[in-house]
Structure 1
Amino acid sequence: MSEKYLIGVDASNHSRAALAWGLERARHRGASVELIHIADDSFLSESVAFLSEAQVASEQMLANEIDYATNTLGFTGNITGTAVVGHPIAEIELASKHADLLVLGAHSGSKFAGSIFGTRAVKIAAVAHCPVAVIPAEQTEAGTGIVVGVDGSESSKLALAFAAEEASLRSQPLIAVYAWMPPLTPGLEYLWSEELVTAQQAAAEEAIAIAVAGLASRYPDLEVQREIVQAPPVTALLQVAAKADMLVVGSRGRGGISRLLLGSVSHGVLSQLPCTTVVTRAE
């Protein structure tokens, strides 16, 4: 059974960057595509007339984006669309239950901040039932390597599995990043002993070796690079991913209202988005 990609659209440059990325991936993977446009009803009148008008506008927007996907971008695969009026986060969470990958555009510092493709991308990544790919609006020349953060947790193991398969399929190196910091108060680095640093470095090397063990047998041609960075996790990942093609991070599954707490690392990298970033979930 082929994969299904759900792509959020709104005709902005940001969502069209995500649309182009998602369609290209679907073309290579033989995946079907569903475009979704949501007219946010948060500020709409609750009258039947206003909601009906919003639905018509949403459907027209969706039709335009399907036309753009097929006639401008030349996508010839299976493509459908859904246009709804409602709360973007709730509607996309529901739709993500039936998708293998959710693709969103993202940007910051613009008049669109807070839209479905702006800061809400962080909240959507927290509640989605499938991996979420967040695509920068403006990408410079393509980088190299699939970067993944590892720390031994179940969520990072899932992220590593996704990243390894991605790197293998793309014939790119897998770059596993382990970040560590000595347990000392910032500003007291002069108190670090050589023994402490050596022990921490050895523990980091052991942890990353355990994390990537077994990949060689499953992906014999995969190049695995290990990066041990003495820095906070977000800083380390942003540093290594600056010249990468993709960054993959894991997010713990949560229940109830706490699902909106994505996690400091995932939130941190999505807020700065060094490259295309995928958030995997451990339900």
Structure 2
Amino acid sequence: MSTEPAEGDAQMPRPGNNPAIVVGVDGSDNGLRALDWALEEAAAHRCPVRLVYAYVPSAHRQGERVHGASPRMIAMYEEGREVFAAARAHLAGHRHADLVVGTALYEGPPAQVLIEMVSRARMCVVGRRGRGGLSSLLPGSTSMSLAVHARMPVVVVPPRGGQPADANGAGEANGAGGTAGPRVVVGVDLPAAGETAVEFAFEEALARGLPLLAVAAWDLAEPYAYNPAAVAEAVAEHQARTTRSLTQTLAPWREKYAEVPVTTLVEQSRPVTALVGHSGPADLLVLGGRAHPRSQVVAGSTTRAVLRRASCPVAVVHSPELPQASRNPA
């Protein structure tokens, strides 16, 4: 079903204005927590916030006429008013409430609505759990569909008191600032690191006045398992090569964002284990990747596993759709 605007101004700011942060709200506690996160993000970057609710009609209303004041349309407006009223009540007295510049009520699948809305937005922010309290990270769900298919950055905010992460990292941190305390963490997928995600992580750390932890995880293939000498040699080789690659990848961004304290961490571990393990004390975990067509089902990805288990907000930042030469951060 195509999405149809029904309330509010759904237009993103005109070119020259600071792009808005779009927040998907649904009346849930987790949705309101996502709104709180978006307001703090908007304050750090001095940009507006727009609230979007996507109404999905119940099965018995799917075939009703869409013109005129049909029961289906009345139900959509009533539900939208209820969701936005809850958001306004939550915003009462909030120090950044004035950054909310509009609401928009649409009919259609939430993921489809938001993917189309964020095409000109700064980012999209959603909660990890919906009104029913069930995880929204199942295949085809709103959070997962956005994280996999949206071209703009998507931030998934876990519920309050979310699953704690295992903070025991196997690697050794290098650089100023150590690995403890509030920080921004970026997972660097080497050798083809997503520069868009790396730059996003540096910008977030700068805006928040926090150090950045860059994590690169690697693991050995199974054939080494029964040859201890080969394992030791391979471990040393992989560790050294990954460390060099990570250093080279970060070098131009460290020069551009010289104010950001950077720690690098190369560890022999599965990427999901490493990233979730370091997400516990983090303010934000940034993942890279490439957006997939909406018709393509992506199963078993690192992104899905991290989103399901991370205890801090996770930003999924896709590289440009078409291959490009490495950008010069100068």
TM-score (normalizing by structure 1) = 0.88
For residues 62-101 of structure 1, the aligned pairs below 5 Å read 62-68=83-89, 70-74=91-95, 75-101=97-123
Cα distance in 1, alignment partners of residues 110 and 116 from structure 2: 10
Measure how far apart 1:50 and its partner are. 3.5
Quick one: structure 1 residues 155 and 255, their matched pair in 2 at CA, closer, same or farther if it must change by over 3 Å? farther
Residue aligning to 1:221: 259
1:11 aligns with 2:27: yes
What does the per-residue CA deviation read over 1:39-89, in whole Å, with 9 as the maximum and x for residues that have no partner? 123635221334212321233134304523542425112520111221112
Quick one: structure 1 residues 70 and 274, their matched pair in 2 at CA, closer, same or farther if it must change by over 3 Å? closer
Percent of aligned positions that are identical = 26
What does the per-residue CA deviation read over 1:201-246, in whole Å, with 9 as the maximum and x for residues that have no partner? 1111111111111223211221110111111111111112222111
Given that residues 44 and 207 in structure 2 are in contact (C-alpha distance below 8 angstroms), is that contact kept between their aligned partners in structure 1? no
Residue aligning to 1:205: 243
Deviates more, 1:22-31 or 1:39-48: 39-48
User: Structure 1: which 4+ aligned runs deviate by more than 6 Å?
Assistant: none
For residues 119-130 of structure 1, the aligned pairs below 5 Å read 119-130=141-152
Residue aligning to 2:275: 237
Quick one: structure 1 residues 51 and 232, their matched pair in 2 at CA, closer, same or farther if it must change by over 3 Å? same
Residue aligning to 2:222: 184
Cα distance in 1, alignment partners of residues 292 and 316 from structure 2: 14
Residue aligning to 2:153: 131
Alignment match of 1:104 (pick from 107, 117, 126)? 126
Measure how far apart 1:199 and its partner are. 0.9
Look up the SS of the partner of 1:97 in the other structure.
Answer: helix
Deviates more, 1:132-141 or 1:168-177: 132-141
Quick one: structure 1 residues 155 and 104, their matched pair in 2 at CA, closer, same or farther if it must change by over 3 Å? farther
Cα distance in 2, alignment partners of residues 154 and 262 from structure 1: 21
Cα distance in 2, alignment partners of residues 213 and 266 from structure 1: 25
- Paired AA for residue 73 in structure 1: H
Quick one: structure 1 residues 194 and 130, their matched pair in 2 at CA, closer, same or farther if it must change by over 3 Å? same
Cα distance in 2, alignment partners of residues 99 and 65 from structure 1: 24
- Paired AA for residue 215 in structure 1: W
1:274 aligns with 2:311: yes
Measure how far apart 1:191 and its partner are. 6.1
RMSD: 2.7
Measure how far apart 1:274 and its partner are. 2.4
Given that residues 62 and 83 in structure 1 are in contact (C-alpha distance below 8 angstroms), is that contact kept between their aligned partners in structure 2? no
Residue aligning to 2:302: 265
- Paired AA for residue 47 in structure 1: E
Cα distance in 1, alignment partners of residues 122 and 189 from structure 2: 25
Measure how far apart 1:247 and its partner are. 0.4
Quick one: structure 1 residues 3 and 69, their matched pair in 2 at CA, closer, same or farther if it must change by over 3 Å? farther
TM-score (normalizing by structure 2) = 0.76
Alignment match of 2:36 (pick from 20, 24, 30)? 20
Look up the SS of the partner of 1:76 in the other structure.
Answer: helix
Measure how far apart 1:185 and its partner are. 4.9
- Paired AA for residue 279 in structure 1: V
Look up the SS of the partner of 2:222 in the other structure.
Answer: coil
Cα distance in 2, alignment partners of residues 104 and 162 from structure 1: 18
- Paired AA for residue 129 in structure 1: R
Residue aligning to 1:47: 64
Given that residues 248 and 279 in structure 1 are in contact (C-alpha distance below 8 angstroms), is that contact kept between their aligned partners in structure 2? yes
Measure how far apart 1:112 and its partner are. 3.1
- Paired AA for residue 64 in structure 2: S
Cα distance in 2, alignment partners of residues 136 and 114 from structure 1: 10
Deviates more, 1:61-70 or 1:24-33: 61-70
Quick one: structure 1 residues 262 and 124, their matched pair in 2 at CA, closer, same or farther if it must change by over 3 Å? farther
Quick one: structure 1 residues 208 and 189, their matched pair in 2 at CA, closer, same or farther if it must change by over 3 Å? farther
Structure 1 residues not aligned, in runs of 5+: none
- Paired AA for residue 102 in structure 1: C
- Paired AA for residue 138 in structure 1: R
